[in-house]
Amino acid sequence: MPKYIVVKDFTDLEDGNYVYAEGDKFPRKGKCKKARIEELASTANKRGEILIKEIEEGD
Protein backbone atom coordinates (compact mmCIF):
# COMPACT_ATOMS: atom_id res chain seq x y z
CA MET A 1 0.00 0.00 0.00
CA PRO A 2 1.42 3.42 -0.94
CA LYS A 3 2.33 5.85 1.81
CA TYR A 4 1.66 9.57 1.78
CA ILE A 5 3.07 12.66 3.45
CA VAL A 6 1.49 16.08 3.93
CA VAL A 7 3.13 18.81 1.84
CA LYS A 8 0.91 21.72 3.01
CA ASP A 9 -0.93 22.16 6.30
CA PHE A 10 -4.66 21.48 6.05
CA THR A 11 -7.73 20.64 8.10
CA ASP A 12 -9.29 17.37 7.01
CA LEU A 13 -13.03 17.96 6.90
CA GLU A 14 -13.61 14.21 6.48
CA ASP A 15 -11.59 13.31 9.60
CA GLY A 16 -13.36 15.31 12.31
CA ASN A 17 -11.55 18.55 11.34
CA TYR A 18 -8.19 16.99 12.23
CA VAL A 19 -5.34 19.40 11.47
CA TYR A 20 -2.50 17.88 9.45
CA ALA A 21 0.83 19.71 9.46
CA GLU A 22 3.46 19.62 6.75
CA GLY A 23 5.53 16.46 7.19
CA ASP A 24 2.77 14.42 8.87
CA LYS A 25 1.93 10.97 7.51
CA PHE A 26 -1.45 10.62 5.83
CA PRO A 27 -3.81 9.15 6.88
CA ARG A 28 -3.05 9.34 10.58
CA LYS A 29 -4.88 6.09 11.30
CA GLY A 30 -6.49 3.26 9.41
CA LYS A 31 -7.23 3.35 5.73
CA CYS A 32 -8.46 6.11 3.51
CA LYS A 33 -10.63 5.83 0.41
CA LYS A 34 -8.75 5.99 -2.87
CA ALA A 35 -10.98 8.84 -4.07
CA ARG A 36 -10.05 10.94 -1.02
CA ILE A 37 -6.33 10.34 -1.57
CA GLU A 38 -6.66 11.29 -5.24
CA GLU A 39 -8.53 14.45 -4.22
CA LEU A 40 -5.87 15.55 -1.73
CA ALA A 41 -2.98 14.60 -4.04
CA SER A 42 -4.34 16.85 -6.79
CA THR A 43 -5.83 20.32 -7.13
CA ALA A 44 -9.37 18.84 -7.20
CA ASN A 45 -10.11 19.79 -3.58
CA LYS A 46 -11.62 22.84 -1.84
CA ARG A 47 -8.21 24.52 -1.49
CA GLY A 48 -7.25 23.89 -5.11
CA GLU A 49 -3.75 22.86 -3.97
CA ILE A 50 -1.82 19.60 -3.75
CA LEU A 51 -1.88 18.73 -0.04
CA ILE A 52 -0.30 15.25 0.07
CA LYS A 53 2.17 13.28 -2.03
CA GLU A 54 3.15 9.65 -2.28
CA ILE A 55 6.50 8.76 -0.75
CA GLU A 56 8.89 5.93 -1.45
CA GLU A 57 9.29 3.22 1.18
CA GLY A 58 12.84 4.40 2.01
CA ASP A 59 11.81 8.05 2.65
Helix (H) / strand (E) element for 13: namely none
Q: List the beta bridge partners of residue 51.
A: none
Question: Has residue 59 got a pLDDT over 70?
Answer: no
pLDDT digits (tens, 9 = 90+) for 7-58: 999 999 999 999 999 999 999 988 889 999 999 999 999 999 999 999 987 6
- Residues contacting 5, CB < 8 A, separation 6+: 23, 24, 25, 26, 52, 53, 55, 59
Distance in angstroms (rounded) separating the CA atoms of residues 45 and 8: 13
Distance in angstroms (rounded) separating the CA atoms of residues 30 and 49: 24
Q: What percent of the chain lies above the pLDDT cut of 70?
A: 97
pLDDT digits (tens, 9 = 90+) for 14-24: 999 999 999 99
- The alpha carbon of residue 47 and the mean position of all alpha carbons in its chain are separated, in whole angstroms, by 13
